[in-house]
Structure 1
Amino acid sequence: MKLIRTEDAVGQVLCHDITQIIPGVTKDAVFRKGHVVTKEDIPVLLSVGKEHLYVWEKQEGMLHENEAAEILCAICKGQNMERTQAKEGKIELIAACDGLLKVDSSRLKAVNSLGEMIIATRHGNFPVKKGDKLAGTRIIPLVIQEEKMEAAKKAAGEEPILDLKPFARKKAAILTTGSEVYHGRIQDQFTPVILEKLAEYDTEVIGSQILDDKHEQITQAILDFIAKGAELIICTGGMSVDPDDRTPLAIKNTGADVVSYGAPVLPGAMFMLAYYEGRIPIAGLPGCVMYAKRTIFDLVLPRLMADDRIHREDLQVLGQGGLCLSCPVCTFPNCGFGKGE
């Protein structure tokens, strides 16, 4: 940086904040570090006692914080996102639609490990609403080496670190299993819970059915609903290892590819997920979904609604953070539940 007369500073970039103090009225910066001085700014600067200013001196191989911020933003910004203007080396990313936020944590860590720049995001694999803030980026110094920003681009790779998958409109079917419900010994309390959770998304429930604990009937009902156009099958009940619980076998017998039977999440350990013909998810929900406020279903449903394919490894990493503490006042998703590695 260099020191120049204030009258000669038009077009120059400030290297420090300029503070105005009016006793009993204000003490605040009238111009921030990084501000480009205009002709109209000169009287204001002189009025606060600044006859000389430190300004940025352009050097080969160095980038101003706002120039570097543009590069950092490009590294992060995926589809369905809006951005703020660069200010003081900062740019924020905003959701342009409702959807599922995806974050590549390994590449995020690689960029943040370079130093002198930061990317701070929401946790990935959780739903967001249009207008929600997704991430903030910041260049720490006023100027940064151009080669460091090239290193950031290399660490980030070709694709943006963030992505926002919009939720799809889906046709869903609900199968409630259990002889006690089928024979009318107890009331079906599962279906209302599932309907309430599906109502948070653009979902058309094309049918629901109560079935006995006979795996052949359950398998056929699943296939029948798929034939009618169901794009999401939710099976409730009969998910434990008791001899009478036949839902896992029924799901397997459809010919669907089983991702996992069991997940390191409490409540929700007996959860099952399979894909029929590689595209239609079939979810087997354990009994806890009926009575616990938050379960494994709350963690996987947003991903299913965004057509975000779930793999076995995606469930395995939920072990860390997979324990719901059943807080007296639930703040999910603004808590640690489901926020794994």
Structure 2
Amino acid sequence: MKLINTTDAVGHVLCHDITQIIPGVTKDAVFRKGHIVTEEDIPVLLSVGKEHLYVWEKDENMLHENEAAQILYEVCKNEHMSPTPVKEGKIELIADVDGVFKVDVERLEAVNSLDDIMIATRHNNFPVKKGDKLAGTRIIPLVIEKERMEQVRQVAGDKPLLALLPYQKKKVGIVTTGSEVYHGRIKDAFGPVIRDKLAEYDAQVLGQTIVDDNQEMITGAIRSWLDQGADMVVCTGGMSVDPDDLTPSSIKALGGEIVTYGAPVLPGAMFLLSYVNGNIPVMGLPGCVMYAARTIFDLVLPRVMAGEQLTKKDLVKLGHGGLCLGCKPCHYPYCSFGKGE
């Protein structure tokens, strides 16, 4: 491309969009890349402050910003996401389904470390809805060396930088522990909260079993839901260190893998995650889930509903950003809670 005076541009081909900004009215291109400038265009170009223009000179060693944006999109794209039309050298990726958005942060940072390259995304593990914007890509200059874009491909590797895991329709059993609820001394307040949270992911609640503070009863109730085809069991109550709180030991008695009893998140430190029969999550929820707007359960549930099998390391990472500030009104997930990565 070359730089010329706007008054000398008649007959030349624009190599970039010309944007007009009128605050509160419009921000759009008055002329698109590829437009051949006419005599009538000159006053319009001058009115938007363009006294000089870049016009296209084809160079086999260079790529236009739109072509480069397409390459950046290609290293990002994955299933369940679609691109917007390229505009002013930018392509955005849009969610095709509800699910959990995943970012390979280390490789994203490596790509963004290259000069003149930018890919901006939502946070890793962000719960998104169909139609949400996931990422945007573009280069900084108007044109860039082909060699640089080949370097982008090499640094990014063969695997897409982004992924979107759709929510799975899971069948869930609820087990509520506590002598005070079992004997009818107080009304259960935990069940409705859990049902509401599961409804956000269109889960099928098979039912709720209320049991006494008895290990055999708790373990038996969990096994019963598993036998009835539950893909997940959520246990409420009995999660502290009091002598009558037997939910953790009852879950351990199932013989599954205990990923963690305790998590670096507030509210939610006494959370327990285990897997039975290899991949069926059985969770023990602390009392805070019943009364706090957002807790450890809200950080873990989307990922579990998307079919992700969490590890101890996944839970440890939640400590950075794992302090809920209890804002009123609550803005989760559009806040810092759980966004440490």
Same topology, TM > 0.5: yes
Separation in 1 of the partners of 2:3 and 2:287?
71
Match of 2:35? 37
Structure 1 pair 327–16 and aligned structure 2 pair: CA distance change class (3 A): closer
Q: Which moved more, 1:109-118 or 1:263-272?
A: 109-118
Structure 1 pair 183–20 and aligned structure 2 pair: CA distance change class (3 A): closer
SS for the counterpart of 2:194 is helix
Task: Give yes or no for contact 2:14–2:53 (8 Å, CA) kept in 1.
Answer: no
Separation in 2 of the partners of 1:77 and 1:164?
10
1:106 lines up with 2:106 in the alignment: yes
Q: CA deviation at 1:3?
A: 5.0
Separation in 2 of the partners of 1:224 and 1:29?
63
Q: Which amino acid aligns with 1:92?
A: E
Q: CA deviation at 1:269?
A: 0.3
1:8 lines up with 2:11 in the alignment: yes
Q: Which amino acid aligns with 2:277?
A: E
SS for the counterpart of 2:318 is helix
What is the correspondence of 1:122-201 to structure 2 with a 5 Å cutoff? 122-201=122-201
Match of 2:337? 337
Structure 1 pair 27–258 and aligned structure 2 pair: CA distance change class (3 A): closer
Match of 1:204? 204
Structure 1 pair 2–211 and aligned structure 2 pair: CA distance change class (3 A): same
Q: Which amino acid aligns with 2:35?
A: V
Task: Give yes or no for contact 2:257–2:276 (8 Å, CA) kept in 1.
Answer: yes
What is the correspondence of 1:1-80 to structure 2 with a 5 Å cutoff? 1-3=1-3, 5-9=8-12, 12-14=13-15, 17=18, 30-31=30-31, 35-38=33-36, 41-48=37-44, 53-80=53-80
Q: CA deviation at 1:52?
A: 8.1
Structure 1 pair 44–227 and aligned structure 2 pair: CA distance change class (3 A): farther
Q: Which amino acid aligns with 1:296?
A: I
Q: Which amino acid aligns with 2:114?
A: L
CA RMSD of aligned residues (A): 2.3
Q: CA deviation at 1:30?
A: 2.4
Q: CA deviation at 1:284?
A: 0.6
Separation in 2 of the partners of 1:134 and 1:161?
12
What is the correspondence of 1:243-258 to structure 2 with a 5 Å cutoff? 243-258=243-258
Q: CA deviation at 1:47?
A: 4.2
Identical counterparts, % of pairs: 61
Q: CA deviation at 1:29?
A: 5.8
SS for the counterpart of 1:42 is coil
Q: Which runs of 5+ in 1 are unaligned?
A: none
**Per-residue CA distance 1:277-309 (angstroms, 9 max, x = gap):** 221111110010011111000111111111012
Match of 1:213? 213
Alignment size in residue pairs:
332
Separation in 2 of the partners of 1:162 and 1:202?
24
Task: Give yes or no for contact 1:101–1:124 (8 Å, CA) kept in 2.
Answer: yes
Q: CA deviation at 1:246?
A: 0.9
**Per-residue CA distance 1:213-268 (angstroms, 9 max, x = gap):** 11122112111111110001000011112221111111111111111111100000
Q: Which amino acid aligns with 1:173?
A: G
Separation in 2 of the partners of 1:274 and 1:125?
20
What is the correspondence of 1:217-296 to structure 2 with a 5 Å cutoff? 217-296=217-296
SS for the counterpart of 1:274 is strand
Separation in 2 of the partners of 1:219 and 1:62?
66
Q: Which amino acid aligns with 1:179?
A: S
Separation in 1 of the partners of 2:164 and 2:309?
14
TM-score with structure 2 length normalisation?
0.91
Q: Which amino acid aligns with 1:154?
A: Q
Separation in 2 of the partners of 1:45 and 1:190?
67
Task: Give yes or no for contact 2:17–2:88 (8 Å, CA) kept in 1.
Answer: no
Separation in 1 of the partners of 2:3 and 2:218?
79
Separation in 2 of the partners of 1:202 and 1:145?
48
Q: Which amino acid aligns with 1:287?
A: G
Separation in 2 of the partners of 1:338 and 1:325?
11
